[in-house]
Structure 1
């Protein structure tokens, strides 16, 4: 009996000892988390954070709704708020004055990209979108120079856009007014412009291999917005061993890199340094200048990553905007009628639209701008990182803080827009003339603003006007089109079908 009691006491003591160890370990972890992630004095206000996960579970983990989930916090705490995504400290900047103060007046402090685990795994510090420091400076400067050399702002590139718009019109005409999904047709057309600059080639809409590439790219951008990828960025040491969509994402990126690697190898076979045909040729020439240096960013990996960045940046945002444009114009037939009237009056049916027509077409220009406002394609902008301890709006932002700019609130601010949640081209008109708006920043601002803004604006006007010149867009019979969105890297409309009736 005494032996039984002794055994029982021994078991109880060992159990107590085990729980004491677990409690001590948990206390230690909480203490380490507090010390490591505690906020400094005068840090921007925000909701209470939980240990380890921060504010991660205070809104839907679905990245497609992240820009909506943060808005109640903005209303509660103001135009500069703090949120922690796991152990990633972040601030959200709202309001046109504060956004411009940060990205232009104090722009030198916000040039760096945050080192997110997934982007680091895929690109490291290569390319132009995710890179920082000397690599970004070299690649941006070189890219802008090559874009200019190969036609940006010149009639030669405008002619290429006009020709591609004509191809797109012909392809849509073959649908003969039947319902069709314009997604990959538009992707192909827009992509052909940046492909003509980067790899010196355009692809027919029936090219199955290129269509597969576009579908792979589309799938990849959707995977970028998955819940698991957010968790991977917060807990990479755990999730790198787990199956899931992040592994598919990494596999897709490798396939896309391989495609451009093959293009690079093909270029090398007949490359003439004195007569570059495209971006890749020019990059190969630049690589040759630095072949004996190890500190330069002009190497094969950067060639592949920068070309890939240009391909995505030059395809996704513009094609997404055009898909929104066709959707909004279809569900707003009174707007479409006014666009048709302006086109008939200014251009007619006898010639192709040109960029020079834009100043004579304020209503069409206003419609395109309203599409960008309502489409809200990059709702929280591309993230930045604070490079050194600074003070913004009276609050202390420590080095390493991730910065998101709240373009959603900016473009739906009831103080700035008469009907913020309604598609209304009159937002950009005054006395019948086009009116620029200070609170309109779809391409961001500052030195890390979109380097392809001029190209994107030219493409949007030319493609949209060419399509409106030739077609009346209608919903399929007895079908109501949805304005719902899905999220990839960009906020895009859910799949839809429309009818393009020849005019």
Structure 2
């Protein structure tokens, strides 16, 4: 924690006030046999041992002292932290059902109330995930039709970048438009033009929320929600942004209801509405408006931000390391040339390009602490008894950056995914999409997007930084739900 940073100072002052207000509050006794961890202070737990700008790094450092599983107190509630490939694999894959619950941080409860695919648990989550996977596949996820949709969108992106005529620009917004339009075509049944003002507003709301959710303010809110509700700060903006997004989504849902044909589902919303009608007489049906609204919000947010953020990181990294970018250019020229669009079938013939994409995902460590998991019952695990409802943190960063799993874990190195013959090699430790029962719902779609967008961009452009390459900082500005990259300008030179 940097004590010279004004934001950190403000948070420390706020924390001091909170300590006074909460001085008479005591933690509730916990059942079970939780693993040992660092000594916790009354009220605030272990918060002073947490770097609020990069909490995963603090947890990994503590694991060096307390082992791969330990208890960390976030003010009044404990979290069972798991670090390292073996234990994360055991928890998420081998014991996936036991840890498949979703722990609702106060901020997540505030914006979802446990509805929707991403933040539900139990039977609700099982039904929504099964339905959503089936529906996404029906509308092309993993199939040729969605490949063609991504290829088409990639050409819109190329045109928008080419219109910059080689002048310096920040690619963040255009990349976000392209990625968002893929999930929009599945969820809403259509795409937006890049100059659509409403689309601009929606993407700005999403980008702002991701920044706030990855900031220390949300860490403070999650630990002292009742008090923070009365305090000013960026955390207030999240709630307003979600409300504005929900207004837009409800308009879309209402429009779909008015034009719905029950024998012809056009997209995800139509499919959900048809399912709602089929189960309208079931009093315990999970196919209700609240789950539709929040599920659409989940898909829209995740489908927009995760792929676009990864592509933004990729452009920065390739601009910083021109020799890597040049090698991809040569591989694309040899296999695809300039006369046709890249296709998914090209991936096996582009092992270096594929390795670079995987290494980008490993290196940037997009969701370092994973989304919060929860024990679904009282669980015996490695000699401990973890009570039902306990917050569980499988730290993905401890796998993606593990010394035991990668030759140079802290350096960008595409050889992590290449064998001695230059062929692409898979790694069991590649958990960029998490793993097990709560792995990313849209993993196959995201993989296709990353490959087709990046190969199409590099088929058409050389990305050069405006500043000196060595000054490009490929560490995160801040880390929370996602890692947030620095913002730079580039020149896209047509090839």
> Shared fold by TM > 0.5?
yes
Q: In structure 1, what is the equivalent of residue 86 of structure 2?
A: 97
- Please tell me whether residue 471 in structure 1 is matched to residue 461 in structure 2: yes
Using the TM superposition, give the Cα deviation of residue 228 of structure 1 relative to its aligned residue in structure 2, in angstroms.
3.0
| Separation in structure 1 between the aligned mates of residue 61 and residue 467 of structure 2, nearest angstrom | 39
| Separation in structure 2 between the aligned mates of residue 369 and residue 285 of structure 1, nearest angstrom | 38
| Separation in structure 1 between the aligned mates of residue 402 and residue 215 of structure 2, nearest angstrom | 28
Using the TM superposition, give the Cα deviation of residue 244 of structure 1 relative to its aligned residue in structure 2, in angstroms.
2.3
In structure 1, stretches of 5+ residues that fail to align are 1-25
Instruction: Compare 239-248 and 206-215 and name the one that shifted more.
Output: 239-248
* Aligned residues of 2:180 and 2:300 also touching (Cα < 8 A): yes
Using the TM superposition, give the Cα deviation of residue 435 of structure 1 relative to its aligned residue in structure 2, in angstroms.
0.6
- Please tell me whether residue 409 in structure 1 is matched to residue 398 in structure 2: yes
- Please tell me whether residue 501 in structure 1 is matched to residue 475 in structure 2: no
168, 178, 190: which one pairs with 1:189? 178
Structure 1 residues 399 and 173: CA distance shift in structure 2, 3 A = same
Using the TM superposition, give the Cα deviation of residue 28 of structure 1 relative to its aligned residue in structure 2, in angstroms.
11
* Aligned residues of 1:111 and 1:385 also touching (Cα < 8 A): yes
| Separation in structure 1 between the aligned mates of residue 92 and residue 316 of structure 2, nearest angstrom | 32
Q: In structure 2, what is the equivalent of residue 153 of structure 1?
A: 142
| Separation in structure 2 between the aligned mates of residue 179 and residue 28 of structure 1, nearest angstrom | 54
Partner-residue secondary structure (3-state), 2:80: strand
Q: In structure 1, what is the equivalent of residue 429 of structure 2?
A: 439
| Separation in structure 2 between the aligned mates of residue 110 and residue 147 of structure 1, nearest angstrom | 25
Instruction: Compare 64-73 and 309-318 and name the one that shifted more.
Output: 64-73
89, 111, 119: which one pairs with 2:100? 111
| Separation in structure 2 between the aligned mates of residue 225 and residue 426 of structure 1, nearest angstrom | 30
| Separation in structure 2 between the aligned mates of residue 421 and residue 103 of structure 1, nearest angstrom | 24
Partner-residue secondary structure (3-state), 1:83: strand
Partner-residue secondary structure (3-state), 1:92: strand
Residue by residue, what CA displacement relative to the aligned partner does 1:272-323 show, whole Å, maximum 9, x if unpaired?
Answer: 1111111111111111112223311111121111001001111111111111
| Separation in structure 1 between the aligned mates of residue 142 and residue 343 of structure 2, nearest angstrom | 13
- Please tell me whether residue 448 in structure 1 is matched to residue 438 in structure 2: yes
Q: In structure 1, what is the equivalent of residue 46 of structure 2?
A: 55
Aligned residue pairs, count? 473
Partner-residue secondary structure (3-state), 1:108: coil
| Separation in structure 2 between the aligned mates of residue 219 and residue 52 of structure 1, nearest angstrom | 31
Using the TM superposition, give the Cα deviation of residue 80 of structure 1 relative to its aligned residue in structure 2, in angstroms.
0.8
Using the TM superposition, give the Cα deviation of residue 133 of structure 1 relative to its aligned residue in structure 2, in angstroms.
1.4
In structure 2, stretches of 5+ residues that fail to align are 1-20
Using the TM superposition, give the Cα deviation of residue 242 of structure 1 relative to its aligned residue in structure 2, in angstroms.
2.5
> What does residue range 9-408 of structure 1 map to in structure 2 within 5 Å?
29=24, 32-33=26-27, 36-37=28-29, 40-41=32-33, 43-60=34-51, 62=52, 64-408=53-397
Using the TM superposition, give the Cα deviation of residue 53 of structure 1 relative to its aligned residue in structure 2, in angstroms.
1.1
* Aligned residues of 1:125 and 1:135 also touching (Cα < 8 A): no
460, 472, 484: which one pairs with 1:492? 484
Using the TM superposition, give the Cα deviation of residue 207 of structure 1 relative to its aligned residue in structure 2, in angstroms.
1.1
- Please tell me the root mean square deviation across aligned C-alpha atoms, in Å: 1.9
| Separation in structure 1 between the aligned mates of residue 46 and residue 309 of structure 2, nearest angstrom | 30
Larger radius of gyration: 1
